[in-house]
Amino acid sequence: MNKRLLGHSGIEVSPLGMGCWAIGGPWQFLDIQAGWGEVDDNESIRAVQHALASGINFFDTAATYGTGHSERIVGKALASKRDEVVIATKFGFNVDETAKHAIRFETAEQIIANVRAACERSLRNLAMDTIDLYQLHVWDFPKEHAPALLDVLEALVREGKIRYYGWSTDSVENARAFAAGEHCVAVQHDLNVVLDAPEMLALCETLKLASVNRSPLARGALTGKYTKDTVFAPNDVRTDPWAVQNILNPAFDRLEDLRAILTSGGRTLAQGALAWIWARSPVTVPIPGIRTVTQVDDNAGALRFGPLAPDQMRQIDELLGRSVLTY
């Protein structure tokens, strides 16, 4: 597949990114186990490097993932390849690296006041001079405070600390408010074959923003490797009741209905789920979580097949009882 543009930045990224949440290892957000279980750092580094060798040049991490551990692994893995990759990370929470714990700031003003220090910490963790895409991680940040936050981000752009910025949010109105910033080029939001986001995609297409897609495989539910009976480790975020109800179970419930279409032409289920996202909109960039070389091979293998065909997309709309779109 051809590369896609990161919004109106002019930066070309691979159609598939690597989500680096899982390589952060165990950590806690508020009272929730927010990691994906134990990790092997050597395997994580091999996975990042293999992803680049397999055609993936876009890597998405966050200050919270392992409270800095994911950023450090990404930086270590790509130390000699900085000119070949596009690095995205996120900010907005109060991160305690020693305790492996992240909490909310009490006010929007505190979030804004912390941006510069958070940026410097992420740059140190990544061992890089510039962050390509710096994203607000607080999905419900009050949009009335967006102008003040945009001022800080624009200052960081002028200083060369970041190149562009975006917001990780599922709120279309929040995304619209942030897009007022000159260097805002992306929105990160949930999107997968079962969980469509038509209003957000329409906004991204209209405003020339990249749609960076988290949960493109519904946290593994669309890979066929798990079922509703799967028991995840206690320190795995997939034990969180919200994730089970809103991401995992909806995908489990419809997977068999979609299997034949998603696996058409020799695709795996994961490859078919990614192919749906590419066909859904020209601005989408899915970032499935990856932590092993084997997962890289499965996900990157989707690039050989490309998007689903228009008639397959219409069949999926009909199967899921959605409005049938024009593709």
pLDDT by residue (tens digit) across 47-89? 999 999 999 999 999 999 999 999 999 999 999 999 999 999 9
- The candidate with the shortest Cα–Cα distance to 131, out of 157, 97, 149, is 157
Inform me whether the pLDDT recorded for 1 exceeds 90.
no
Q: Are 278 and 213 in contact (CB under 8 A)?
A: no
Give helix 146-158 / helix 108-126 axis angle, nearest 10°: 30
Taking only the tens place, the pLDDT of each residue in 190-207 is 999 999 999 999 999 999
Strand order through the sheet with 210-214 = 17-19, 58-60, 86-91, 131-136, 162-168, 184-190, 210-214, 284-286
Quick one: what percent of the chain has pLDDT higher than 90? Answer: 100
Find tokens 């999905």 and name the residue.
Answer: 139
Give the count of beta carbons closer than 10 Å to the beta carbon of residue 169. Answer: 24
pLDDT in tens, 273-301: 999 999 999 999 999 999 999 999 999 99
Give the 3-state secondary structure of 157-200: HHCCCEEEEEEECCCHHHHHHHCCCCCEEEEEEECCCCCCCHHH
Q: What residues contact residue 225 under an 8 Å CB cut-off, 6+ apart?
A: none
pLDDT per residue as tens digits for the range 159-195: 999 999 999 999 999 999 999 999 999 999 999 999 9
pLDDT for 18 beyond 90: yes
- Res. 256 pLDDT band, cuts 50 70 90: very high
Q: State percent of the chain over pLDDT 70.
A: 100
